[in-house]
Structure 1
Amino acid sequence: MLYFMYRIIERRLSMKKKLVFPNLFWWGAASSGPQTEGQYGKVHENVMDYWFKTHPEDFFDNVGPLVASNFFHTYTEDFHLMKEIGVNSFRTSIQWSRLIKNLETGEPDPKGIAFYNSIIEEAKKNQMDLVMNLHHFDLPVELLQKYGGWESKHVVELFVKFAKTAFTCFGDKVHYWTTFNEPMVIPEAGYLYAFHYPNLKGKGKEAVQVIYNLNLASAKVIQLYRSLGLDGKIGIILNLTPAYPRSNSPEDLEASRFTDDFFNKVFLNPAVKGT
């Protein structure tokens, strides 16, 4: 009996297809500036920095972006370790609050330029394709306090200036860009369910305005990138959550359609279809 079972298992294993990945397949890791770098040497605070400074108890074990994973000081070692385990692509983000000295004009801070150039060089040294994101829940807090953050069209224009500075400084070295990481989190967590700063709840009208402006900002930055004639690609990172109806009743079907529209298609359709 045992021999018979062994032969069945052996046969099934032999029937399995061997997966062969192409040479250029990306084995990657993804992070972000505000979640790894720490606050060292930044010109401005972002909303996460400010939230942690004012309410550290909201963060697990009071650990937040002040130090994060200390990537600011350990990136050389981190890239080496990633290479050791076979990682050949890496995504991180440029902190608006680190790169830009003057938020109104988009004037860069030389220290910010130097830091991100070092990151780019280290990735190149370790034969890694670098994907650079421009916004990972890290709006400069003064733009929230002064203008209402992503509720404001002026903030959209300031983001475009920031993006232009990033493209000017690094566009010839970085060939893969994204505008936003999971933009739905900003209205959902910040304006509807209160688990991201500014921790508001039930602000539906404001959330819809934020969604509109985030779509507008992404479209403007993509248009800008293409107008500069840079040799690269640009897109957006979306967190898509499938919505399934509880039953086939008309009410449940309508609810699932609405949920899909609001949480998925509200960013997916403008990005893919332009509608």
Structure 2
Amino acid sequence: MELKFPKDFWLGAATSGPQLEGRFNKKHANIFDYDFEKFPEHFWHGIGPDVASNFYNDFREDIRLMKKAGLNSVRTSIQWSRLIDDLEEGTVNPEAVEFYNAVIDEFLSNGIRPIINLHHFDLPVELLHKYGGWANKQVISFYVKYAEQCFRLFGDRVSDWFTHNEPMVVVEGGYLYQFHYPDLVDGKLAVQVAYNLQLASSLAIQKYREVNQNSDGKIGIILNLSPNYPASQDKEDIAAAHFADLWQNRLFMDASVKGKFPNELVEILTLSQFFRVT
């Protein structure tokens, strides 16, 4: 029996600006650009983001191949470090605007729906070094300015937006497990960064609703949710799995969907004192 996809089925793929574009013609470095420049040994076989897949130069041919493969939707991202000239004021780089306009138009002319994410782990490194990155609420205001520029510049053609890709990776990679720059192990900072990432997402969504140019427009957040199972039925293992679910899944999920962090998680972190956020 022949099975057919529904007419409105999205057959797509997902990637990001820092994974695709390369560092060509960028005024600012993001944390991956800086990490590769300073510590190339952190990258598999020394292969880093300078060229990536060269999408910056080859996007028309790449999108043609996506269409040939049968894709009708693609999720990628805009690089904050490419689009914005003055990171504090939020002014844009004209060449970057021209590039992203061309990419979006090329997707659409090939019948591919562009789904755009705003932050794929790629914080401009200047904001980390000068302000402390996502640990500082001032950076949230810079992010919202960047998001607003994206909505105003591209919202007439892009109807599907995301604020962050897998924000827990930023928290755990940068502040607990040392697999993303700044490679710290600091539980208090990890919790503060998680809180601020969620606040940034919420404020960007609020801004989107103010400037949305598309009646069909939607915005959300991409979460990497992980089911947690106890190693045994011992009460300690059950409690550990429950806390892992609160931290890994419900922290961002509840705040994004219900508008509040789980009370139990807040109580645990508050009672610990070590994790107090401001």
TM-score, with length taken from structure 1: 0.92
Three-state SS of the structure 1 residue aligned to 2:13 is: strand
For residues 182-219 of structure 1, the C-alpha deviation after alignment (integer angstroms, 9 at most, x for no partner) is 10001101100001111112x10000000000000000
Structure 2: 5+ residue stretches without partners? 261-278
Amino acid across the alignment from 2:90: G
| Superposition misfits of 4+ residues, deviation over 2 angstroms | 17-20
User: What is the Cα deviation at residue 24 of structure 1?
Assistant: 1.2
| Deviates most, 226-235 or 30-39 | 226-235
1:85 shift after superposition: 1.2
Question: Residue 184 of structure 1 aligns to a residue in which SS?
Answer: helix
Asked whether the 8 Å contact 2:152–2:211 carries over to 1, the reply is no
Q: Is the 8 A contact 2:155 2:212 kept in 1?
A: no
Q: Which residue is equivalent to 1:170?
A: 154
1:7 alignment counterpart: none
How many residue pairs were aligned?
258
2:46 pairs with 1:62: yes
What is the TM-score of this pair, normalised by structure 2?
A: 0.91
Question: What is the CA-CA distance between 1:26 and the residue it aligns to?
Answer: 0.5
User: Residue 23 in 1 paired to residue 7 in 2?
Assistant: yes
Where does 1:141-152 land on structure 2 (aligned, <5 Å)? 141-152=125-136
Equivalent position amino acid for 2:252 in 1: F
Aligned to 2:234, which of 236, 240, 249? 249
Residues of 1 paired with 2:108 and 2:130: CA distance?
A: 39
1:74 and 2:58 correspond: yes
Which amino acid is 2:199 matched to? L
User: Residue 47 of structure 1 is aligned with which of 10, 25, 31?
Assistant: 31
CA offset at residue 173 of structure 1?
1.2
Other-structure match for 2:164: 180
Provide the rounded CA distance (Å) in 2 between the counterparts of 1:61 and 1:251: 41
Q: Residue 199 of structure 1 aligns to which amino acid in structure 2?
A: D
Unaligned segments of structure 1, at least 5 residues:
1-16
Query: Within the alignment, does 1:264 sit opposite 2:256 as a pair?
Result: no
Aligned equivalents of 1:190, 1:102: Cα separation in 2: 25
Match of 1:4 in 2: none
Deviation of 1:18 after TM superposition, in Å, equals 5.1
1:273 CA drift (Å): 1.1
| Contact persistence 2:171–2:190 (CA under 8 A) | yes
Letter in 2 for 1:214: L
Work out the CA distance in 1 between the residues paired with 2:253 and 2:242: 14
- Identity over the aligned pairs, expressed in percent? 55
Deviations 1:47-66 (A, max 9, x none): 00000000111111111100
Aligned counterpart, 1:204: 187
- 2:62 partner letter: D
Q: 1:224 and 2:203 equivalent?
A: no
- State which structure, 1 or 2, has the greater radius of gyration over its C-alpha atoms: 1
2:224 aligned counterpart, secondary structure: coil
Amino acid aligned to 1:206: L
User: What is the RMSD of the two structures over their aligned residues, measured on CA atoms?
Assistant: 0.9
Alpha-carbon distance, 1:176 to partner = 0.5
